[in-house]
C-alpha cells in the first residue's frame, strides 16, 4: 500500500474542505454581475466600494463626480429625495403606531 486510494471518501472530504477554505473568502466577495456578451453574468470581483468590476465601469476614477446633475431628470432617486422619503416614512410609521395605540386604549 504505497498510496492511499485517491477516490476514497476521506481524501475527497479533505480536498473539499481545503477547496472551501481557500475559495470561500474569494467567492463571498461581491461580484460584478454585469451582463456579458455571452449572455451570462460577469463573475469578476467588484471594485472596492463599487458594484461593478474594473472592466465594467467600476474602475477607480471612473463614473460621475459626486453631486453631478448632468443626468438629473426628476431627482426622485437623488440622495436628498431619498433622505426626505425616509423621514416621511418614519413620521407615517410613528402616526400608525400612535393610531393603533389609541385604538387599543379606546377598546379596553
Ligand atoms: Zn464585470
pLDDT at position 2 is 63
- Kindly give the distance from the C-alpha atom of residue 55 to the centroid of ligand 1, in angstroms, as a whole number: 5
- Kindly give the distance from the C-alpha atom of residue 23 to the centroid of ligand 1, in angstroms, as a whole number: 19
pLDDT digits (tens, 9 = 90+) for 52-85: 999 999 998 888 888 888 888 998 988 899 999 9
CA angle 84, 102, 96 (to 5 degrees): 25
- Kindly give the distance from the C-alpha atom of residue 46 to the centroid of ligand 1, in angstroms, as a whole number: 7
23 versus 55: the higher-pLDDT residue is: 55
Which residues place a Cβ less than 5 A from the ion ligand 1?
Answer: 32, 34, 42, 44, 53, 56
- Kindly give the distance from the C-alpha atom of residue 70 to the centroid of ligand 1, in angstroms, as a whole number: 25
Sequence-ordered list of residues with C-beta below 8 angstroms from that of 12, at least 6 positions apart, any chain: none
Give the percent of the chain with pLDDT over 90.
57
Amino acid at each position: 500500500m504505497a498510496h492511499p486510494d485517491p477516490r476514497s471518501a476521506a481524501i475527497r472530504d479533505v480536498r473539499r474542505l481545503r477547496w472551501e477554505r481557500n475559495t470561500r473568502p474569494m467567492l463571498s466577495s461581491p461580484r460584478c454581475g454585469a451582463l456579458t456578451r455571452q449572455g451570462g453574468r460577469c463573475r469578476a470581483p467588484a471594485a472596492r466600494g463599487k458594484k461593478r468590476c474594473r472592466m465594467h465601469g467600476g474602475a477607480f476614477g471612473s463614473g460621475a463626480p459626486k453631486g453631478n446633475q448632468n443626468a438629473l431628470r426628476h431627482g426622485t432617486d437623488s440622495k436628498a429625495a431619498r433622505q426626505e422619503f425616509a423621514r416621511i416614512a418614519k413620521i407615517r410609521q410613528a402616526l400608525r403606531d400612535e393610531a393603533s395605540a389609541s385604538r387599543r386604549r379606546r377598546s379596553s
